[in-house]
Amino acid sequence: MNMKSFIELVKIPNKNYSIGKYPVTQAEYKAIMGKNPSHFRGEDLPVENVSWYDARDFCQKLTARERAAGRLPEILEYRLPTSEEWEVACRAGTTTRFCSGDTEADLDRVAWYYKNSKCKTHPVGQKAPNAWGIYDMHGNVWEWCMDSRGSLRVSCGGGWSGNALFCELSYVFDDDPNLRFFNLGFRVVLAPVGK
């Protein structure tokens, strides 16, 4: 499988990282990890029911695979975004409550959340992207970030089961890194090692 089409990335303007155009899908997760832990099943659905450690391990295995294949220089690595990187990517230069505006009607255009999700995840990329062409930053699944707060890890973006408040750009949630739940997934960044 050619990595150029395996995980699509969007370069963040004036920053040293790129971020996944979509949350990691079940097909991508299975290709790297050899299994699919998701509750809702479908290759184009976001992977969910993954712990923070599962997400971290995926990034490490993806990095190792790409280096071994000669497609990734030693100075770059795949990893989880920090919550700050995630917010910059989601905001895409806006200052509004959501990347699409301030109202729930604005949120409806870009997110699957409790009001429109029918209590399940949806294939990535079906809603409108943000101004930088990144999809599903709000809703569908919460996304693990690299940050820790004590023994807890941060997740952002809200999910299919949450209300509009949980989808706000400024809202972050702290969870046990061992938690697996069917509204909790992740996306990757590609960045210089150690940055």
Distance, in Å, from the CA atom of 91 to the CA atom of 24, rounded to the nearest integer, reads 19
Distance, in Å, from the CA atom of 144 to the CA atom of 95, rounded to the nearest integer, reads 23
CA atoms in the 13 A half-sphere facing the CB of 13: 8
The tally of domains found in the chain comes to 1
Residue 174 located in a structural domain: yes
pLDDT of residue 195: 78
Residue 162 located in a structural domain: yes
CATH number for the domain that contains residue 177:
3.90.1580.10
Residue 78 located in a structural domain: yes
Residue 1 located in a structural domain: no
The C-alpha torsion from 131 through 158 and 110 to 92, rounded to 10°, is -10
Measured CA to CA in angstroms, residue 84 lies from 31, 172, 174 at distances of 28, 10, 15
Q: Over the stretch 16-38, which tens digit does the pLDDT of each residue have?
A: 999 999 999 999 999 999 999 99
Residue 107 located in a structural domain: yes
Residue 2 located in a structural domain: no
Residue 171 located in a structural domain: yes
Q: Give the global pTM.
A: 0.95
Domain range for 181 is 9-192
- The DSSP secondary-structure symbol of 120 reads S
Residue 42 located in a structural domain: yes
Q: Over the stretch 126-146, which tens digit does the pLDDT of each residue have?
A: 999 999 999 999 999 999 999
- The yes-or-no verdict on residue 4 having pLDDT over 60 is no
**Which residues does 90 contact at the CB level (< 8 Å), separation at least 6?**
99, 130, 134, 137, 138, 156, 157, 169
Query: Strand pairing partners for 20?
Result: 9
Q: Over the stretch 35-93, which tens digit does the pLDDT of each residue have?
A: 999 999 999 999 999 999 999 999 999 999 999 999 999 999 999 999 999 999 999 99
